[in-house]
Amino acid sequence: MRFEELGMYPARVEKAVRESPAVVSLHLRSPLPREPSPGQFVMVWLPGKEEVPMSVSGWDGARLRISVAKMGETTSELQRVKKGEYLGVKGPLGRGFELGRGPYLLVGGGTGMAPLIFACRRLRERGERVKVLVGARTSSELLFVTEARRTGAEVEVTTEDGSSGEGGMVTDLLERELPKRPWKVLACGPEEMLVRVVEECVKRGRKVQVSLERYMRCGLGVCGSCVLDPVGWRVCTEGPVFEGRLLLRTDFGKFVRDPTGRRLPLPPGRRG
Ligand SMILES: Cc1cc2nc3c(=O)[nH]c(=O)nc-3n(C[C@H](O)[C@H](O)[C@H](O)COP(=O)(O)OP(=O)(O)OC[C@H]3O[C@@H](n4cnc5c(N)ncnc54)[C@H](O)[C@@H]3O)c2cc1C
Ligand code: FES
């Protein structure tokens, strides 16, 4: 069966790059119908496995990059695909970051750096002032630090175990940084971290946009598996990027849905 018959674009793997022990980036050549913008995602299908949502971590005009962390069966298999293999891709999907005039402060935790490195590149190409705060549990999990520095952005690093940069949480850096400039904040990472980022930004009167993860089945606004209660926003279509202040009226930081649609308290340490 051809990918097009399944409503997907074929995506040829041109390169697989190991970014860290847990993350592999796939560079995919695919005839997407329009350019992805930072914060948008694609549904990726490896024949024989489930479709999974992946943020776009780069776009060079012809090639799409996704950066895959190993979580379960599909992401483990995606990390094993080789140059020349084909995946199916739907997208670009969802609402990305609204990028205007800076200065911008980007706050990324773990693989949450995937959409942010794309935003960082776009903002720097426009000559905007950008500072990136990169956090992870330990140094080997830090993502895109060198790439962010190469764009000319200022970069600060923090690890929970102190193995690289300052010891502590990325939100500690944020608290220190926020009063220094009229930063506009973009954030992605574990939901507990995002809650702290939003609360801190709201307290200081700073605009904050957050890229959120929810279990997604269709990615197209049809199945309802990603709905945020009580307002009914679908993360795949009204998001995944939301204005932080608006998220405080929802399940954000409190409940998620499992693959059966059941509402569960947010598990600790959850990426999205
Ligand atoms: C908008 C969006 C962007 C994302 N971007 C990235 C990215 O850039 N890089 C990356 O590595 N991961 C990203 N994810 C998460 C990724 O989709 C899940 O890790 C993946 O679907 C897990 O599939 P699996 O079969 O390997 O694991 P599973 O065995 O299915 O699950 C492992 C864990 O992942 C969670 N999960 C499973 N499926 C999903 C899903 N469809 N959406 C969210 N969480 C899920 C489960 O609750 C479970 O805790 C993104 C998710 C969303 C919603
Ligand atoms: S994933 Fe189906 S509605 Fe969002």
Q: For 144-160, how does the pLDDT look when each residue is reduced to its tens digit (9 = 90+)?
A: 999 999 999 999 999 99
Give the residue-averaged pLDDT of 12-24: 96
Give the residue-averaged pLDDT of 114-140: 97
Q: Is the dihedral of CA 63, 68, 72, 73 positive or negative?
A: positive
Please name which ligand lies nearest the alpha carbon of 117.
Answer: 1
| Residue 238 resides in a domain | yes
Ligand 1 atom 25 nearest Cα: 74
For ligand 1, is residue 214 a contact (CB within 6 Å)? Answer: yes
CATH number at residue 168: 3.40.50.80
Which of 93, 116, 135 represents a domain boundary (last residue)? Answer: 93
Residues 132 and 212 placed together within one structural domain of the fold: yes
Reported pTM: 0.95
Distance (angstroms) between ligand 2 centre and the Cα of 215 equals 8
Please name which ligand lies nearest the alpha carbon of 236.
Answer: 2
Which of 31, 65, 93 represents a domain boundary (last residue)? Answer: 93
For ligand 2, is residue 167 a contact (CB within 6 Å)? Answer: no
Residues 131 and 213 placed together within one structural domain of the fold: yes
Residues 162 and 256 placed together within one structural domain of the fold: yes
For ligand 1, is residue 64 a contact (CB within 6 Å)? Answer: no
Residues 78 and 173 placed together within one structural domain of the fold: no
Residues 115 and 63 placed together within one structural domain of the fold: no
Give the residue-averaged pLDDT of 205-227: 94
The total domain count for the chain is 2
Which of 52, 68, 93 represents a domain boundary (last residue)? Answer: 93
Distance (angstroms) between ligand 2 centre and the Cα of 2 equals 24
For ligand 2, is residue 226 a contact (CB within 6 Å)? Answer: yes
| Domain that includes residue 22, residue range | 3-93
Residues 78 and 127 placed together within one structural domain of the fold: no
Q: For 48-68, how does the pLDDT look when each residue is reduced to its tens digit (9 = 90+)?
A: 899 999 999 999 999 999 999
**The pLDDT of residue 265:** 86
| Residue 220 resides in a domain | yes
Contacts for 55 with CB less than 8 Å, ≥ 6 apart: 39, 40, 41, 66, 67, 114, 115, 118, 188, 211, 240
Please name which ligand lies nearest the alpha carbon of 54.
Answer: 1
Residues 82 and 158 placed together within one structural domain of the fold: no
pLDDT at 270 over 70: no
Residues 250 and 119 placed together within one structural domain of the fold: yes
CATH number at residue 56: 2.40.30.10
